[in-house]
């Protein structure tokens, strides 16, 4: 049985989101990228022009060390879902299975702006975006 799982979050700029989830115990890997738009293999410049994609952090985690509920709690505590000035920064949980969907729906409560959607194609962001805060010695 597979113990490593994936969940993807959109919660504003993906640099900070990646830094937050890199510090969570049980998280094996994070990758920033784009999800939710129509175009294939979009670039950052296309995202910024409003092509429908959202900046996301894809979180690979060991379900024996951290629960999906714990990860979703971190998601909700780490950003303001109501602050949505661009489609690329919207608050969204992209789920990969029924358990993730149910956990997100249970924890959503009053966060009306947060969307809970089935995962779509994930497009990895350009390398200079990966672990941006670490590379540039920036702290959240």
Which residues carry out catalysis? 13
Structure tokens at 113: 């702006």
Per residue in 63-81, is it b (16+ CB within 10 Å) or e — as a string?
eeebebeebbebbbebbeb
Give burial (CB, 10 Å; 0-12/13-18/19+) of 112. Answer: exposed
Cβ–Cβ < 8 Å for 43, 126: yes
Cβ–Cβ < 8 Å for 78, 46: no
């Amino acid at each position: 049985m597979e113990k490593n799982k994936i969940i993807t979050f959109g919660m504003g700029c993906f640099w900070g989101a990646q830094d937050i989830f890199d510090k969570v115990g049980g998280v094996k890997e994070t990758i920033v990228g784009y999800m939710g738009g129509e175009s294939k293999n979009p670039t950052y410049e296309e995202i910024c022009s409003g092509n429908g994609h959202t900046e996301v952090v894809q979180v690979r985690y060991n379900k024996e060390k951290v629960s999906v509920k714990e990860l979703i709690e971190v998601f909700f505590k780490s950003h303001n879902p109501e602050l949505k000035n661009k489609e690329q920064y919207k608050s969204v949980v992209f789920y990969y299975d029924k358990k993730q969907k149910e956990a997100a729906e249970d924890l959503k409560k009053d966060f009306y702006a947060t969307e809970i959607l089935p995962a779509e194609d994930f497009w990895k962001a350009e390398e200079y975006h990966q672990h941006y805060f670490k590379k540039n010695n920036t702290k959240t």
